Amino acid sequence: MMGWYGDGVGWGGWLVMSLSMIAFWALVVFAVVAIFRTGREDGSGRPGRRDPLEILDERFARGEIDETEYRARADVLRTSAH
């Protein structure tokens, strides 16, 4: 019963199967990245807008600004929000 299908698919078949498998896995990776991409709150592709006080808190925590500058900027942000 050996040889029913001739000599198999040959090198062309293996090439097509290999390229198909690479394309399939590339599509899977692309889909996973697209699903779990962060920062797209409005669907426009741009990162979502962050709260200015949150950014100021992070800058103060990293030591980029001192306490005096932090309090002055926080006061301005809080008064302009009203």
In this structure, the answer to whether residues 5 and 20 fall within a common structural domain is yes
Residues 57, 19 share a domain: no
CA distance 73 to 4: 81
Dihedral (CA of 21, 26, 27, 33) sign: positive
Q: Are 73 and 36 found together in one domain?
A: no
d(CA 11, CA 7): 11
Tell me, yes or no, whether 10 and 30 share the same domain: yes
The pLDDT, as a whole number, for residue 43 is: 53
Look at residue 26 in the predicted model and tell me its pLDDT.
97
Taking the CA of residue 77 as centre, how many other CA atoms within 13 Å lie in the half-sphere pointing to its CB?
Answer: 13
70 and 34, same structural domain? no
What is the band of 82 on the pLDDT scale with cuts at 50, 70, 90?
A: low
pLDDT number for residue 65: 92
Q: What are 3-35's pLDDT values in tens digits? A: 566 666 778 888 999 999 999 999 999 999 988
Shared domain for 55 and 30, answered yes or no, is no
Range 63-78 average pLDDT = 93
Q: Do 39 and 54 belong together in one domain?
A: no
Domain range for 26 is: 1-45
Tens digits of per-residue pLDDT, 33-59?
Answer: 988 876 555 555 556 678 899 999 999
